[in-house]
Structure 1
Amino acid sequence: MQPKDLLQLSEQFGSPLYVYDADKIKSQYNRLTKAFSKVEKLRINYAMKALSNVAILQLLEGMGSGLDTVSIQEVQLGLHAGYSPERIFYTPNGVSLEEIEEVNALGVQINIDNLSILEQFGAKHPNVPVCIRINPHVMAGGNANISVGHIDSKFGISVHQLPHLVRIVENTKMNIVGIHMHTGSDILDIEVFLYAAEILFDAARHFKNLDFLDFGSGFKVPYKKDDIETDIEELGKKLSKRFNEFCTEYGKNLTLIFEPGKFLVSEAGQFLAKVNVIKQTTSTVFAGIDSGFNHLIRPMFYGSSHHIENISNPKGKERFYSVVGYICETDTFANNRRISELKEGDILSFKNAGAYCYSMASNYNSRYRPAEVLWMNGQGHLIRAHETFEDLIKNQIGLPQIATAQ
């Protein structure tokens, strides 16, 4: 997409606006499958929590992707988007046994990360195929909030609890078909990932009839020029070789599963917002936009950096601006960032806005959530309309009439 295309979309659909490039999503999917082409049985399960719009799910379903889900609502969205139950994995954390049983009734693959729930579920449903999520105790990820495989993480069953885990499986005679891990997001060091993979292999040796090993994801994408990213090609070469060796040792050709989210959709997304006001103080020039952390919370929540361009004046002289939102909080997107000279009414584009952006949006300050557009075959297709006041009050119930009469 060129700046002129984005400007045209902002005029056509209004701002703020999320725009996703279908070709970029497809190229990332193909890049990952090509990197692991030496593995005979490979499965990509898109982590839909990154971006759960039904049109995006359908785009990936058409490419052969499965789904990684973390809630019953995500499972239901996946089924609604056309995924068959056997292509949906359900990996919750901290949910009730009742929710897990409800999801199981839908026919999807259950992944359990808690000894208590494992024992309860196994005792009641010993014949149901179950995957077990282990915690490898490997610290990986670019931020404490997205590092989920370390020793203090709430996710997974500790590898040190394997003897207890095995006893539960033996006592309940439950059907374990897969082992899963996820160390965290924004992984830079491939050797750390490979080290964690060996822990997964060790855990798998305790189970004799597995069908798959799920390595999670967490691949880092570049957020700015010359930024570091996970070398998928090198990882594919090294892990494929080791995985194939393990399959030979195990005596069975297992399926290798990944569950990428950010890797597939982050770079495909751009967030467009209009400059409402330029405010000069004694030391800072603020660019206030028609958005806030109600639409894009990652810079405030994770400290993430999104490259910002003035697509209305891309070749203008650069000046320093602090880009801030219209929320009644300190919602700063960028401090003293070099951006082509801004004027009120200009359109800014925030890059890498495809993952964990719209999906984390809210109605804080009673603001509406923005529209979403899919750019495909040279055209913009509306895939979610801007919210309205009717959306805001749809589920609200006013004070009962009897109370207002008193």
Structure 2
Amino acid sequence: MMHELENNSYPVHREYLIQLAKKYGTPLYVYDSCKIKKQYMKMKNAFTGIENLIINYACKANTNINILKFLQNLGSGLDTVSIQEVELGLKAGFHPKRIIFTPNCVSIQEIKKAVDFGVRINLDNLSILEQFGGYYPDYAIGIRINPHIMAGGNYKISVGHIDSKFGISYYQIPHMKRILKNTGLKIEGFHMHTGSDILDIQAFLSGAKVLFKIAIDFPNLDYIDFGSGFKVPYTKNDIKTDLTSLSSSMTEEVDNFCKNYGSKITFIFEPGKFIVSESGYFLVSVNVIKHTTSTVFAGVDSGFNHFLRPMFYDAYHCIENISNPNGRFRFYTVVGYICESDTFGLNRKVKEIREGDILCIKNAGAYCFSMSSNYNSRYRPSEVMIFKGKDFIIRRRETMQDLIRNIVYIQHM
């Protein structure tokens, strides 16, 4: 079961967004901490029926250290996928044991650094598992399982199917057990993640059953990690994961497993987009209105160097003209200033757009700034966080000095 988005109104008022655009300039990312907290608590409260459940924020969605600190203060743990994210989490104040490092296709050298930091580690391939056991037989680790489940909004964000590069295949469990026996390595948990923007809650339940079937043969586990993939709404009539139905079904599955397992265990969810996506607004200024024989383009002061999701995932993001709320609706293709096709929205119905207007692109809190680049030698934008009713700059706009900071000049050229 799914629910429709109740309304399409801004939690942060339109006039405030305009004020922020004028104060800090555009392009500009704005994050509403109240929405982040609301989503975190919604997730936490939905699964109160599961004893010993913790929420680990999947920080690849947005790694600004102020957002990490905010969630750490709420009681969240942290899901990381790179050693740099681990270090950011430590700088944000997370205890090492509240950080889980679940990398993919990294070297044993990077994993050794995670051991030095003392964080929890999920390994997802047999080669690294065997190497790790040779170096650290006494460092308990988790195993990421590939449950062979096709789930997610599109193929690029489906990561649990049989041809995925992620996880140790369910059918490789006998080989995994042999490595554990040969090395003496101890397992403290099992992990999975099937995809993002999952519509069918059965994907979560099927994955959980796979983990339970494996875990029952491993006594004294500390945790089972279900990953994430919760769907958030992108339009007024869009659907989202029904947490109530999922919680009811998942609680029943967990209770049955615990009765058979015979000892207490911690259960983990790792939401990223669910927590921060709807908190974010991306504000851009309109540079030009350009007419062709068939299309009216609204060209803005940004591009896929700042906001890649529409181009990379073919993702839909609502675009509103917050400068002209009383204008009549017209159709525009909203594009960027990059020297390739970078279309934010194709043939969108938007209140009349004029040069100089400010457009707001919604659901900009997850996988937006974190995927930005300096393509075309453009500066990455500023980030602002609204906290306790006040706005704070949490990342300055880059300058030319940032672009050339690591350049080494050849002398006498």
Q: What is the TM-score when the length of structure 1 is the normalising length?
A: 0.98
Structure 2 residue 335 is matched with structure 1 residue 320: no
Q: Equivalent residue for 1:386?
A: 397
Contact 1:166-1:206 at 8 Å conserved across structures: no
Structure 1 residue 167 and structure 2 residue 178: aligned? yes
Q: 1:230 is matched with which residue?
A: 241
Q: Which amino acid aligns with 1:184?
A: G
Asked if 1:145 is matched to 2:156, the reply is yes
1:256 equivalent to 2:267? Answer: yes
Aligned equivalents of 1:41 and 1:244: distance in 2? 12
Structure 1 segments, 4+ long, off by >6 Å, are none
* Contact kept in structure 2, 1:42 and 1:257, CA below 8 Å: yes
> Does residue 1:213 correspond to 2:224, yes or no?
yes
Where in structure 2 are the equivalents of 1:5-404 lying within 5 Å?
5-401=16-412, 404=413
> Where do 5+ consecutive residues of structure 1 fail to align?
none
TM-score under structure 2 normalisation? 0.96
Q: Is the 8 A contact 1:122 1:173 kept in 2?
A: yes
Output the amino acid matched with 2:265.
L
Q: Is the 8 A contact 1:35 1:237 kept in 2?
A: no
Partner Cα separation in structure 2 for residue 102 and residue 271 of structure 1: 35
For the residues of structure 1 that align with 2:337 and 2:325, how far apart are their CA atoms? 24
SS of 1:326's partner is coil
The alignment partner of 1:118 has SS state of helix
1:92-126 superposed Cα distances (whole Å, 9 cap, x missing partner): 00001111011111100011001011011112211
Gaps of 5+ in 2: 1-11
RMSD over equivalenced CA pairs, Å: 0.8
Return the alpha-carbon distance in structure 1 between the equivalents of residues 112 and 255 of structure 2: 34
Structure 1 CA distance for aligned equivalents of residues 194 and 246 of structure 2: 15
| Distance in structure 2 (CA, Å) of the matches to 1:84 and 1:112 | 20
- Give the Cα separation in 2 of the matches to 1:121 and 1:127: 10
Shift of 1:200: 1.0
Q: CA deviation at 1:178?
A: 0.2
Q: How far is the alpha carbon of 1:386 from its aligned partner?
A: 0.5
